[in-house]
């Protein structure tokens, strides 16, 4: 096994060379000659983003606990190094041993968001692995994808040998044993793939075929062979308290996006927001035991030297033992550790907790009403009233906060102009609540930042059938909000930012696209598209050329509302939440009807009985 190393001359002429040299604190070192499987774990974005991802830290630790596996890492080289590697034909290498990725047994790529798709092709290209799975020979690693975007893997189907659908703690051991067995008997790639597809959670796209009707919709999706499963069930780790967890996480030498200890306190969410894919596919809700979390917190702080710990979940306020955990961490603060509490709902305990752990004068509070009007908040099942929002803001202002961030979406189903105008009106009401406080008890002028993103329908949500807007439609909505903001009494306290509409259009195509949109990805990469999530790198003109040259219609995927009986590209995946439940929620949304959260009532989503699991409400 040959190894590579970037020369000093190269390192001195690229930005942030520490991205590529490895040797971080807690990096695992093994003798590659003593293991049976070498696994390159890759995040298709820059080092600073990839190193902040908890999922990779979990799998890196879990894989390396096996004596027969060596898990190493690779990230997307930034444009300066990419150019050098292409010119000098330097293959992409792992950080642990500087070995070529193409010499590994597996290349695992985590797929977090649609705008990293061209970077997946960059990883394959720089690794000198054929981009199309159909062109790979026996010497190539098995390319496997995981992460949230695998809930519709079809746009990437031609580039991956297999996908792992669901949570990684459950089936990788079985997959590794199968690989060792088949390779040990001299078996081929194809024999391994045919056998692997029978492992729950494993999807091998080359073993399925799609046919289309004249109108472009899917006519059928089925296995090519009788022994290939017709459906793929997502994997769920039910016992999260005893699941593998990285108590010795990697610590980088340069500042990364999330430069802190991350403590995942629970998985899943009880809330049922109709736009939120994570809230649906990560069901049922599973809590980590508070005693385990206390132990993890102490070990991880000791093993990393970090000075901040973040409590991670989709809705931290819903963790039943949050007060006990926060109080424990606060009482331990003599070590000089800061505590971050993202994803909190604004209630009395949350504010009390934040007062203990944050510098109020420096920090800002984040509210995510998602919609300006109560009507539209009911449509999306946000479960948040204007009274609750204003009361929470008032408590925060009385407690010393003066900065508030508000997050909304534009383009939601059934949205009208009044819904848009209610966004700055709500922000102004919040500002008014601040100025009701006597002047001598305020910390100067309040600052309220409104941020709007544009709605993208996602698979396995009640809005998966919804239509989107064209770029001009999204920008017109942002213009309405901006105009209304200027009419508000407290407009000097308000600031407005909005997301790029070009990017939203592409996200929509790749979130709900089928295999045919893969050719657009290939063409866009050939034109030089990479790091599309980075504003300075995004080139919409090249993307539009790629769609035009491949004959793929953006409007077909984005502008039409799908029929309830249409075969969707991801229908072969069983994610726990049933299509009947999603249909019911879609219809309730049209009527503006709220659905109670899981702690208030079981709504029969299907996740409760999935793989023998039970919802939190039914555990006692």
Per-residue pLDDT tens digits for 223-258: 999 999 999 999 999 999 999 999 999 999 998 888
Nearest one of 167, 239, 149, 160 to 197, comparing CA atoms: 160
Alpha-carbon distance of 354 to 435, in angstroms, equals 22
Lowest mean pLDDT among 61-65, 235-239, 335-339, 560-564: 335-339
- Contact assessment for residue 72 and residue 1, using Cβ atoms and an 8 Å cutoff: no
Task: Give every CB contact of residue 271 below 8 A, 6+ residues apart in sequence.
Answer: 279, 314, 315, 318, 381, 383, 597, 598
Output the CA–CA distances (angstroms, integers) from residue 482 to 343, 404, 406, 420, in the order listed. 27, 18, 14, 10
Q: Residue 362: is its pLDDT beyond 90?
A: no
Q: In three state form, how does the secondary structure of 108-164 look?
A: EEECCCHHHHHHHHHHHHHCCCCCCHHHCCCCCCEEEEECHHHHCCHHHHHHCCEEE
Alpha-carbon distance of 226 to 318, in angstroms, equals 45
Per-residue pLDDT tens digits for 80-112: 999 999 999 999 999 999 999 999 999 999 999
pTM of the complete model: 0.95
Question: What pLDDT does residue 396 have?
Answer: 87
Domain 8-233: which CATH number of 3.40.50.2000, 3.40.50.970, 1.10.3720.10, 3.40.50.2300: 3.40.50.2300
Nearest one of 384, 315, 381 to 581, comparing CA atoms: 381
HSE on the CB side for 36, CA within 13 Å?
Answer: 14
Task: Give every CB contact of residue 313 below 8 A, 6+ residues apart in sequence.
Answer: 264, 265, 266, 267, 269, 319, 343
Alpha-carbon distance of 146 to 149, in angstroms, equals 8
Q: Residue 359: is its pLDDT beyond 90?
A: no
Alpha-carbon distance of 446 to 426, in angstroms, equals 15
Question: What pLDDT does residue 262 have?
Answer: 94
Share of the chain above pLDDT 90, in %: 82
- Contact assessment for residue 404 and residue 367, using Cβ atoms and an 8 Å cutoff: yes
- Start-to-end C-alpha separation, the chain: 54
H/E stretch holding 330 reads: helix 322-331
Alpha-carbon distance of 290 to 317, in angstroms, equals 14
Q: Residue 613: is its pLDDT beyond 60?
A: no
Output the CA–CA distances (angstroms, integers) from residue 283 to 194, 440, 565, in the order listed. 29, 47, 24
Alpha-carbon distance of 128 to 104, in angstroms, equals 12
Alpha-carbon distance of 550 to 548, in angstroms, equals 6
Structural domain spans, the chain: 8-233
Alpha-carbon distance of 509 to 512, in angstroms, equals 6
Q: What single DSSP character describes residue 25?
A: B
Can you give the C-alpha Rg of the chain in angstroms?
25
3-state secondary structure of 27: coil
Q: Which bin fits 104, alpha (ψ -120 to 50), beta or left (φ > 0)?
A: beta
The average pLDDT across 597-605 equals: 91
> C-alpha angle 472/475/476, rounded to 5°?
85
- Contact assessment for residue 523 and residue 546, using Cβ atoms and an 8 Å cutoff: yes
Task: Give every CB contact of residue 487 below 8 A, 6+ residues apart in sequence.
Answer: 424
Question: What pLDDT does residue 3 have?
Answer: 60
Alpha-carbon distance of 361 to 377, in angstroms, equals 30
Lowest mean pLDDT among 199-213, 295-309, 352-366, 380-394: 352-366
């Amino acid at each position: 096994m040959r190894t590579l190393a970037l020369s000093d001359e190269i390192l001195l002429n690229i930005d942030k060379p520490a991205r590529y040299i490895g040797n971080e604190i807690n990096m695992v070192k093994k003798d590659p000659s003593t293991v049976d499987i070498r696994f390159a774990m890759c995040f298709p974005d820059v080092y600073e983003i990839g190193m902040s991802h908890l999922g990779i830290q979990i799998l890196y630790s879990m894989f390396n606990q096996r004596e027969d596996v060596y898990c190493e890492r690779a990230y997307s080289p930034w444009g300066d190094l990419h150019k050098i590697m292409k010119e000098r034909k330097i293959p992409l290498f792992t950080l642990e041993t500087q070995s070529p990725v193409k010499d590994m047994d597996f290349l695992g790529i985590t797929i977090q968001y649609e705008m990293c798709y061209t970077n997946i092709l960059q990883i394959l290209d720089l690794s000198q692995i054929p981009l199309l799975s159909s062109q790979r020979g026996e010497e190539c690693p098995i390319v496997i994808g995981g992460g949230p975007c695998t809930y519709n893997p079809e746009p990437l189907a031609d580039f991956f040998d297999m996908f792992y659908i669901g949570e990684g703690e459950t089936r990788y051991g079985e997959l590794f044993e199968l690989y060792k067995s088949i390779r040990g008997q001299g078996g081929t790639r194809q024999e391994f793939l045919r056998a692997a597809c029978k492992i729950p959670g494993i999807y091998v796209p080359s073993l399925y075929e799609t046919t289309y009707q004249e109108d472009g919709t899917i006519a059928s999706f089925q296995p090519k062979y009788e022994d290939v499963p017709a459906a793929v069930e997502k994997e769920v780790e039910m016992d999260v308290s005893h699941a593998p967890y990285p108590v010795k996480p990697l610590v980088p030498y340069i500042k990364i996006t999330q430069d802190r200890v991350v403590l995942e306190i629970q998985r899943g969410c009880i809330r049922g927001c109709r736009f939120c894919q994570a809230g649906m596919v990560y069901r049922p809700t599973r809590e980590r035991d508070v005693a385990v979390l206390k132990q993890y917190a102490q070990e991880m702080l000791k093993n990393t030297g970090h000075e901040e710990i973040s409590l991670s979940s989709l809705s931290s306020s819903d963790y039943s033992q949050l007060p006990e955990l926060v109080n424990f961490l606060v009482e331990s603060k003599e070590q000089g550790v800061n505590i971050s509490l993202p994803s909190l709902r604004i209630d009395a305990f949350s504010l009390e907790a934040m007062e203990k752990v944050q510098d109020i004068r420096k920090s800002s509070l984040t509210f995510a009403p998602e919609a300006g009007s109560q009507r539209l908040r009911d449509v999306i099942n946000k479960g948040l009233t204007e009274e609750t929002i204003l009361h929470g803001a008032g408590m925060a202002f009385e407690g010393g906060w003066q900065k508030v961030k508000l997050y909304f979406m534009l383009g939601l189903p059934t949205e009208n102009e009044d819904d848009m105008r209610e966004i700055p009106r709500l922000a102004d009401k919040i500002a008014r609540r601040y100025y009701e406080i006597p002047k001598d008890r305020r910390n100067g002028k309040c600052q309220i930042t409104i941020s709007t993103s544009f709605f993208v329908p996602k698979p396995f949500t009640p809005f998966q059938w919804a239509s989107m807007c064209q770029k001009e439609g999204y920008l017109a909505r942002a213009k309405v909000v901006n105009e209304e903001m200027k009419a508000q009494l407290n407009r000097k306290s308000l600031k407005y930012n909005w997301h790029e509409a070009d990017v939203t259009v592409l996200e929509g195509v790749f979130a709900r696209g089928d295999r045919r949109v893969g050719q657009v990805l290939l063409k866009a990469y050939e034109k030089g598209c990479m790091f599309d999530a980075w504003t300075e790198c995004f080139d919409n003109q090249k993307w539009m050329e790629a769609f035009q040259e491949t004959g793929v219609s953006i409007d077909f995927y984005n502008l039409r509302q799908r029929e309830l009986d249409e075969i969707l590209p991801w229908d072969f995946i069983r994610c726990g939440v049933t299509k009947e439940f999603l249909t019911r929620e879609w219809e309730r949304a049209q009527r503006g009807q709220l659905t109670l959260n899981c702690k208030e009532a079981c709504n029969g989503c299907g996740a409760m009985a999935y793989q023998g699991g039970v919802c939190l409400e039914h555990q006692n």
